[in-house]
Chains A and B, each alone.
Chain A
Amino acid sequence: MNLQINGQNREYPSPLTIVQLLDQLDLAIERVVVELNREILTADKLADTQLTDGDTLELIQFVGGG
């Protein structure tokens, strides 16, 4: 299936949950904000959310400091 991640089109085998995608991308779940098709998801929803062909994701990784 095709996913658009941060503006880039990429192919992934399905089924795939958001947690599995973040694992593959080596992103720490607790430090990422996920927007799926223009809607923000909270961390507790990421394991249950299956991705489907054509989904658009913004993955925003945070670093510490302030």
Chain B
Amino acid sequence: MQIFVNEQSCQAQTETSLYGLRDRHKPDADLLIVNGFPVSQDQPLKDGDRVTLIKRGERPSAAELEALMMARHTPGVHAKIKNSCIGIAGAGGLGSNIAIALARIGVGRLIIADFDLVEPSNLNRQQYFIDQIGLPKVEALRDNLIRINPGVQITSIQQKITPDNLLAHFSAVNVMVEAFDAADQKAMLISHFLRSCPQTPLVAASGMAGYEASNSISTRKVAKNLYLCGDGTTAAQQGRGLMAPRVGIAAHHQANAVLRLLLGEEPE
């Protein structure tokens, strides 16, 4: 029978057990993952099983890393997303969190645009570090993403996105993500993008300020190929700030909507 060991196809005898496989391929492995789930007991294997053998603390080679990183994925997911290209407009509280989630799951390519620099008030919710204050956000984010998953191709655009340059950067993406802060910029990006690329799904966000209940944030289909994450109403304003938990919830709604679209599922 055929077993995938660290994503490599191997022939195994029909009676092969998990521990037998480990002893043959990597006897010092102390973390065994079968079909996306860690197991702590020996078990019989069947044709088509995906087994990942990891020695904790060992740094894998670049070639091995991708397979080991995806060991906890639902089987089959990685193959469907690794050739995808996602555009992210804005690298603030939403965009930096979305980019990290998508890099961790191994999307093939991210095109990220933001004109701004990292500054101290970003650090309450955005995925940057104190030693990155003053750097362009797209540069700092690329550095952080590469530390997480060097296999992701990243295109960084330090520019303000306008109706005139939008398509030059984003017309070829599989899914577009709106991750701006200002409401008028959100509306500008969405209307111009969907007007020009009506066949490309767009995942946007509106309403994630303050500390209202987590469950008021949802993902809804609001127009053809337009998905909206957030509560739709809580604006950032004087007296109601933007903070890591709720911005992160909205950002991860967006990231999961992207993943579902790539896998052919409706995000709603």
Binding site for B on A (CB under 8 A): 30-35, 38-43, 58, 60-66
Contact = CB atoms under 8 A, between A and B. Distances in A.
Given A33-B223, A35-B224, A60-B228, A66 B92 contact: yes
A33 to B, nearest CB: 5
Nearest to A60: B222
Interface string B184-210: 101110111011001000001111110
Interface residues of B, number: 40
A50 B101 CA distance: 43
B243 to A, nearest CB: 10
Contacts of A60: 190, 206, 222-223, 226, 228
Interface in B153-197: 163, 179-184, 186-188, 190-192, 194-195
A23 B235 CA distance: 21
Given A35-B223, A66-B179, A40 B198 contact: yes
B242 interface: yes
B195 A64 contact: no
B247 interface: yes
B183 A63 contact: yes
B201 to A, nearest CB: 13
Contact of A65 (B184, B188, B191, B247): B247
A63 B206 contact: yes
Given A38-B224, A40-B223, A42-B195, A63 B207 contact: yes
A33 B226 contact: yes
A60 B192 CA distance: 14
27 contacts: A30-B184, A30-B188, A31-B183, A33-B190, A33-B191, A33-B194, A33-B223, A35-B224, A38-B223, A40-B223, A40-B226, A42-B163, A43-B188, A43-B191, A58-B222, A60-B190, A60-B222, A60-B223, A63-B206, A63-B207, A63-B232, A63-B234, A64-B181, A65-B209, A66-B94, A66-B186, A66-B242
B93 to A, nearest CB: 5
Contacts of A40: 190-191, 194-195, 198, 223-224, 226
Interface in B206-241: 206-209, 222-224, 226, 228, 232-237
A7 to B, nearest CB: 11
B198 A64 contact: no
A62 B191 contact: no
Contacts of A39: 198, 224
A62 B187 contact: yes
B106 interface: no
Q: Which of A34, A62, A64 has the most CB of B within 10 A?
A: A62
Nearest to A44: B163
Contacts of A34: 191
A66 B187 contact: no
A58 B232 CA distance: 14
